């Protein structure tokens, strides 16, 4: 099912330009994977309307407008014509299909997670037995034992590997995973943490309905995929090639905003409602949040940083760019990830970080040293990491 290349060039590790701070967690390798089903945005509307047997012209026109405003060009999805032929009830309004959706999602997210992890471990170049901990993030599966155990078995990890499972965090889950992996790495000297995220939109796929306008936003914006990174402190010279230091991490929620992003599981799958005031809520609070991170390194100027922002949608990126008066290209890596993959929930921050690695390497001695990784999700929750380019 999975595709790990997707037109990007393979990364050849190079020695860090800067020395990591002793004891600070660093990113040692990165990988990604996707389903084989590539969806071009300019062909999505006709396919979605056909597959869901929708005859409402107004819905079709609205979806066409949304597909243009999202700025997405391509996405990868587990959902395909073959899946719908096998499970036609997924396109039938009101059908109790949670079992069928999980039957599709569970093997799909595991396969993508395995492929992304193997790609990451190949770049890391150390034995898989050297992984001491695993952090697994997904909002796309519901089972006991969790995907962390299935992934550990698939990869052949040691049976005493320390496992952490992070379920249903949504779009900020990848940055939460970085914070948790950082804490593990820094408090367990010599440890190496595999952080893997994997997501599919199968749980939320359904025919359009005028009573659920956000379903069309999901159809126009979200995609499927997986990502993985290896995190560890005090990298071994000559054996490991760190490219970012996780210097400091924080999380905060905005009181009274828990209904702005609302997700509910039902017999028909998962439903999401997104408040129109989400971009404004983020804009109103982003400056103070960024300042908390920047103060740890005595940083003051936003445009002296590099920015790895989860691209929840173009409106959020535009609001953040305007509020912080960022120069024109500061969010290019976020916009590029959104264009190439859509919003892939917890995975997307790692696609942004991989593009950022390419960009910083290309700048050579002119590359920014410090940057921020940011993501936003249900709560409203803000997650942030102060990054240092190595």
Number of H helices, E strands in the chain: 11, 14
Q: Which of 137, 170, 138 is nearest to 262 (CA)?
A: 170
Tell me the C-alpha to C-alpha distance, in Å, between residue 380 and each of 171, 230, 280, 313, 319.
Answer: 11, 28, 12, 15, 16
Looking at the DSSP assignment, which residues form a beta bridge with residue 39? 75
Q: Which helix (H) or strand (E) holds 47?
A: helix 41-51
**Distance between CA atoms of residues 234 and 160, nearest Å:** 22
Asked if 120 is an active-site residue, the reply is no
Number of neighbouring beta carbons within 10 Å of residue 152: 20
Considering the candidates 67, 120, 171, 333, report the single residue annotated as catalytic. Answer: 171
162-167 and 133-138 strand pairing: parallel
Tell me the C-alpha to C-alpha distance, in Å, between residue 62 and each of 65, 116, 212, 277.
Answer: 5, 35, 13, 20
Is residue 338 within 8 Å of 316, Cβ to Cβ?
A: no
Is residue 249 within 8 Å of 386, Cβ to Cβ?
A: yes
Entry field: residues in the chain: 390
Cβ-Cβ contacts under 8 Å for 316 (sequence gap 6 or more): 278, 279, 282, 376
> 136-145 in b/e burial notation, b at 16+ Cβ within 10 A?
bbbbbbbeee
Residues classed as catalytic = 171
């Amino acid at each position: 099912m999975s595709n790990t290349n997707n037109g990007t060039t393979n990364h050849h590790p190079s020695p860090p330009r800067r020395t990591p701070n002793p004891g600070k967690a660093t990113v040692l390798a990165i990988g990604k994977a996707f389903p084989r089903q590539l969806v071009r945005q300019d062909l999505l509307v006709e396919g979605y309307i056909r597959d869901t047997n929708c005859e409402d012209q107004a819905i079709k026109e609205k979806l066409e407008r949304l597909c243009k405003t999202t700025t997405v060009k391509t996405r990868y999805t587990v959902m395909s014509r073959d899946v719908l032929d096998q499970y036609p009830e997924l396109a039938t309004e009101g059908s109790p299909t949670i079992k069928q959706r999980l039957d599709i999602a569970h093997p799909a997210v595991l396969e993508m997670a395995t492929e992304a992890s193997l790609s990451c471990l190949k770049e890391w170049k150390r034995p898989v037995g050297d992984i001491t901990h695993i952090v697994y993030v997904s909002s796309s599966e519901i089972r006991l034992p969790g995907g962390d155990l299935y992934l550990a078995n698939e990869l052949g990890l040691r049976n005493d590997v320390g496992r952490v499972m992070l379920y249903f965090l949504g779009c900020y889950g990848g940055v939460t995973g970085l914070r948790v992996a950082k804490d593990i790495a820094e408090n367990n000297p010599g440890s190496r943490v595999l952080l893997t995220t994997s997501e599919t939109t199968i749980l939320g796929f359904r025919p359009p309905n005028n009573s659920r306008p956000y379903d069309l936003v999901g159809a126009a914006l979200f995609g499927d995929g997986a990502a993985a990174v290896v995190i560890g402190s005090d990298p071994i010279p000559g054996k490991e090639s760190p490219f970012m230091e996780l210097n400091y991490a924080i999380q905060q929620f905005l009181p009274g905003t828990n209904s702005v992003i609302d997700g509910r599981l039902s017999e028909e799958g998962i439903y999401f409602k997104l408040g129109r005031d989400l971009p404004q809520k983020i804009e109103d609070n982003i400056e103070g949040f960024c300042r908390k991170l920047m103060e740890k390194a005595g940083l003051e100027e936003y445009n002296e940083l590099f920015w790895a922002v989860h691209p929840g949608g173009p409106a959020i990126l535009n609001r953040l760019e305007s509020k912080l008066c960022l120069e024109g290209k500061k969010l290019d890596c976020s916009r590029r990830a959104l264009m190439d993959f859509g919003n892939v929930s917890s995975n997307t921050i790692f696609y942004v970080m991989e593009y950022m690695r390419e960009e910083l390497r290309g700048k050579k001695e002119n590359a920014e040293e410090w940057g921020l990784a940011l993501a936003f999700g249900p709560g409203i929750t803000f997650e942030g990491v102060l990054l240092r380019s190595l």
